[in-house]
Every structure is written in C-alpha cells, then in structure tokens.
Amino acid sequence: MRPLTTSLATSTLALDRVTKRFPTGTVALTDVSMSVAPGDFVSVVGPSGCGKSTLLRLASGLDDATSGTVDVTAAATSYVFQDATLLEWRSALRNVELVGELRGVPRDERRARAQDVLELVGLTGFEKQHPRELSGGMRMRVSLARALVAEPDLALFDEPFGALDEITRLQMQTELQKLFRLKRFAGLFITHSVSEAVYLSTRVLVMSGRPGRIVAEIPIPWDYPRPPELRYAAEFAAITGRVSAALGEHS
C-alpha cells in the first residue's frame, strides 16, 4: 500500500480509505483510514451497529474490504471475542492449548506455554476447571490467555468486557492494562464504554452512526501504569467529556 505518512509505514495495522458494503446492500463502513502502531492501544467507540465489529473483522482478515486497503504487518494477530467463546468440553488449560494444537506446536511446549499465560492472567490452580465452573470474569481471563499464548504483535478486542458486571469489568481493565505493558502487543479495542476506552488507551477513535466513519481522534496523554483512581480525576472527566461530545454530535 501507499504509505500516507511515516507513522503509517511502521504501523502494525493500517486501513486506508476502507469501505465495506455487504451483499445485502448494507454499507457498514465508508472511507475509514486509521492505523495502529507498535506501542499503540487504540480504542474505538461508536453507536451500536456503526460497523465496529466489521472494522475488526476486516483487520483480522475474517472479512474483505469492498474498497480501500487493509494492511497488516503483524506477524501474529489474535482476536478476543465478546463472549469468551471457550470450548465448553475443554478445561481452561486445554482451551488455551487449542491455539498451539491448531498450529502444530508440540504438546509439551504448548502445554508449558499455556500454563505460563494462565499464570499471567491469575488462573493458576484453575487449569483443570471447565468453563462452566468458572465465573464470567475468569472465563474472560481464559480468553485473554488464549489470545496471548500466540505472542501476538496485534491484539483485536471486540467488546470483550461488555457482558461483565461493573466490578469485574474494572478489574479486567486493570488486568488488561498490565498485560499490555508486559506483552507489548499493539491493541485495537472496541467498546461501548467511553470511560473504558479512555482509561485503557493511547488513542480513542470515535465513529459516526452507520455507515461508520471515523469522526474524531482523541489522544490520551497519561503514561502506564494508570492507577484505578485516575477514573475519578478531573482531567479524566475532561477527556471522557470530549469523547462523549464527539459521540453525541455524530450519532
């Protein structure tokens, strides 16, 4: 693809004037250009049905753009689904191992790696449990572990915490932030929650209602780790206010 700026040339993911029209005639995205560089954690907020999931599916290669280019330079991409999407007949450990199994990683190696990531997400001792025996938050941790076990350069998240209760949700945000700093993947994160987007991200993109366009890009200034109390700071409220205003103008 033709690099627009130098930052795009080094990006992990770059979309250039992407449009997506489904065979049904629905136009989900129009003229979307955006990029995610290493070290970026980009959140996308937008009204329901504006094409956020579609954007992620294009980025992951699950679906193709109608026009424009999607350029992924990441060697490994992983995807976290809205509900944990675990295989209910497999234990937590075997769910994480699945990725290695599908890619032909030898058993001992993939098991050791799955074990390590489960420890990282705080699930040591729960390896043998089946999804039904885990809480919603724990299932999402397994799902995060499964995404991280492939050592992705780019991690895509489609409203992963949308189904969790408020308390668990805040815990998972802290957890994800820790993982982001530790594993150094670039993140593209879809959410409905403005405060979640602001708390987690280096940048927040605001999309308009369908057909989705990117109507605002708001950089988030704070370094990581960000303390949970940041959510109550005046400067935090100021930025969430700006995001909400951009959302309100275009939905």
Ligand X SMILES: Nc1ncnc2c1ncn2[C@@H]1O[C@H](COP(=O)(O)OP(=O)(O)OP(=O)(O)O)[C@@H](O)[C@H]1O
Strand boundaries in the chain, DSSP class E: 13-21, 27-36, 41-45, 67-72, 77-80, 154-158, 186-190, 203-207, 214-219
Pick between residue 26 and residue 69 the one whose CB is nearest to ligand X: 26
Q: What sign does the dihedral 51-155-89-118 (CA atoms) show?
A: negative
Q: Which is nearer to another protein, 160 or 177 (CB)?
A: 160
By beta-carbon proximity to ligand X, the closer residue of 28 and 59 is: 28
Is residue 105 close enough to count as binding another protein by CB under 8 A?
no
Residue 58 found at the interface with ligand X (CB under 6 A)? no
Out of 50, 149, 214, 243, which residue is the one contacting ligand X (CB under 6 A)? 50
Q: Distance between CA 31 and CA 16 in Å, rounded?
A: 8
User: At CA 119, angle to CA 114 and CA 121, rounded to 5?
Assistant: 100
- Shortest Å, Cβ 100 to ligand X: 29
Q: Is 241 in the site for ligand X (CB under 6 A)?
A: no
Is 243 an interacting residue with respect to ligand X (CB under 6 A)?
Answer: no
Counting Cβ atoms within 10 Å, is residue 31 exposed (0-12), middle (13-18) or buried (19+)?
A: middle
Tokens of residue 237, six digits: 């409220």
Residue 60 or 95: the one with the smaller Cβ distance to ligand X is 60
**Minimum distance between the CB of residue 236 and ligand X, rounded to whole angstroms?**
24
| Separation CA 96–CA 86 (nearest Å) | 9
- Site pattern 168..187 for ligand X (x: CB under 6 A): --------------------
Binding site for Mg ion (CB under 5 A): 53
